[in-house]
Structure 1
Amino acid sequence: MISLFTALIAKRTVATVSALLVIAIGCGAGIWQLGRAETKIALAANLQARQQMPVLNANQGPWTLEEANERRMNARGQYIPEAAVWLDNRPRPIPPSGSTSSQSGFYLMMPLRLEGKDEVLWVNRGWAPRNNENRETLPIVQTPNKVVSIEGIVFAHPGKVYELGGSKISAYEGKPRIEQNFDLMVQAKLHGWSQAPFILRELEVGADDGLLRDWAPLTSGVDRHYAYAFQWFALAFTGFVFWLISGLRQYKRQGFGNGHRGDQE
């Protein structure tokens, strides 16, 4: 058996190198996908543990990002709708039942002026669908014109998407803006106000305001990573089997037929 493999390798150098390359790529990508899945599971477990800690109160701060990150937080204040930022190209957190494609829309980022404090807290109020016929038409949402109490989870940012050219600071014109990404430092410079060093992703409270807040869990996509890992490992295995079978066929036609029979004669 050892001599057979030695012959398959020695007589088929190019094929062997190609097969090794396919196997290495397949195994490497498969291991990477498994690592991604394990990372998501660990992050979800850490998030769950932090959410079991006592609920923070934004009005009793100040809180640092390190203290509040991924923890539940209550906040009381009044929204400033004219300073809202609509984050474009955001998929619906959880697609409708039976749907296989993600629907694109906006995250509505809106500052909340905290009651009893000279500080603003940016809130990710939720997701709304985009008007496919006119991208500049913003969804209709309801914003209370009074002091409200909300609850959410603290994050460093609302998530980022690929953007050409990066963020640009423009003059604040007192009207909602459509952006690709959200930067707290940029907003602080635009408005010149004191604000919390994190954002609050609002949780579903049953409010009928035109926004969806059925946020996808951090473990979302773990099954997909496992499926991708299986595909990559299958590619590596297929590469090995193809190399082996094609080599055996060539060995029977040339190596066994010419070499062994020639020795016998």
Structure 2
Amino acid sequence: MNKLFFALVAKRIVATLSALLVIGIGCGAGVWQLSRADTKIALAANLQARQQMPILSANATPWTLEEASERRMIARGRYVPEAAIWLDNRPRPIPPVGSATAQSGFYLMMPLRLEGKDKVLWVNRGWAPRNNENRETLPPVQTPNTVVNIEGVVFAHPGKVYELGSSKISADINKPRIEQNFDLTTEGKLHGWSQAPFILREIEIGIEDGLIRDWAPLTSGVDRHYAYAFQWFALAFAGFLFWLLSGLRQYKRQGLVNGDQE
């Protein structure tokens, strides 16, 4: 046993250290991927639990983000379409069946002036596809010019994408704009509005306005994390197996050579 250990480890220091490095990286990355999956599952469970709580009313009281975050909310008011913001480079939340890649498009952020309140609530009305021939052409969307009742889930922001350089706000803020990201505080200062400290992501309730509100669940991507974890653990196992088999082969070869010399 001592001879085998000496042949596998002591005489192969570089190979042993290399194998330990591969095994350590593989196991560490695999555990990290599993933790990412567990985090998503926990967040989804927490979101589902909060959505089972009583529905809030945006018109009833000035809710804080901490009170309303991830809870269902109803709101009544009029949209302000001229102040709409189209968030670019947003993939379709749930790609169509059979589609290998997610289609690129916009999230439509639109302020809703709450009825009976001097306050604005920003609403993520949904997703619309981008015109591939002319990216400046906005999708045709219907916006009612009357008081509407909407329902959604409260979030701090609509999500962010990577943006090169600093964002430059269009000089004319009184017409729809295409932006990469949405900053609630900045919009409040630009318009001088009193606004809710959160956004409402509208849910699908059968409204046909040209927007898709088939939002992806927070657990989307969990299977991918499990697949990545398997790959990393497989790499670690392959590194160990290669180190062991190559060492045993070398040990047997040396045993044969020593036997011939005797």
* TM-score tier after normalising by the smaller chain length: over 0.9
- State whether structure 2 residue 253 is matched by structure 1 residue 257: no
1:244–1:188 distance in 2 versus 1, CA, 3 Å: same
What residue number does 1:167 align with? 167
Match status 1:226 vs 2:226: yes
User: Structure 1 residues 156 and 173 mapped into 2: Cα distance closer, same or farther (>3 Å)?
Assistant: closer
Distance 1:23 1:38 in 2: 22
1:197 aligns with 2:191: no
Per-residue CA shift, 1:106-162, capped at 9, x if unaligned? Answer: 000000000000000000000001111111111110000111000000000001111
Q: Distance in 1 between matches of 2:3 and 2:119?
A: 77
Give the secondary structure class of the aligned counterpart of 1:136. Answer: coil
Residues of 2 paired with 1:112 and 1:260: CA distance? 88
1:260 and 1:75 map into 2 onto residues whose CA distance is 87
Aligned to 1:154: 154
Looking at structure 1, the residues matched to 219 and 193 of structure 2 have their Cα atoms a distance apart, in angstroms, of 36
Note the aligned Cα RMSD (angstroms).
1.3
Cα distance between partner residues in 1 of 2:32 and 2:45: 20
2-structure distance, mates of 1:261, 1:26: 41
SS in 2 for 1:59: coil
1:132 corresponds to 2:126: no
Q: CA deviation at 1:36?
A: 0.3
8 Å CA contact retained: 2:122, 2:198: yes
Contact 2:69 2:156 in 1 (8 A): yes
**Aligned equivalents of 2:5, 2:26: Cα separation in 1:** 22
Partner in structure 2 of residue 181 of structure 1: 181
The residue type equivalent to 2:234 in the other structure is A
SS at match of 1:210: coil
Aligned residues: percent identity? Answer: 80
Q: In structure 2, how many angstroms separate the alpha carbons of the residues matched to 1:173 and 1:187?
A: 9
The CA deviation at 1:9 is 1.2
Q: Give 5+ residue unaligned stretches, structure 2.
A: none
| Paired position in structure 2 for 1:79 | 79
The one-letter amino acid paired with 2:38 is E
In the TM superposition, residue 258 of structure 1 has moved relative to its aligned partner by: 3.5
Q: Secondary structure at the match of 1:107?
A: strand
Cα distance, 1:209 vs. partner? Answer: 0.5
Which residues of structure 1 form unaligned runs of 5+? none
Question: Could you report, residue by residue, the CA deviation over 1:221-243 in whole angstroms, capped at 9, with x for unpaired residues?
Answer: 11111011001100100111111
Q: Which aligned pairs between 1:40-55 and structure 2 lie closer than 5 A?
A: 40-55=40-55
Q: Secondary structure at the match of 1:94?
A: coil
Q: Count matched residues.
A: 262
Aligned partner of 1:44: which letter?
A: A
Letter in 1 for 2:196: A
Contact 1:33/1:228, CA 8 A, preserved across alignment: yes
TM-score when normalising by structure 2: 0.96
Cα distance per residue 1:145-193 (max 9 Å; x no partner): 1110000000000011111113344534311111111110110111111
CA distance in 1, matches of 2:69, 2:187: 20
Q: Could you tell me the TM-score, scaled by structure 1's length?
A: 0.95
The one-letter code of the counterpart of 1:212 is: I
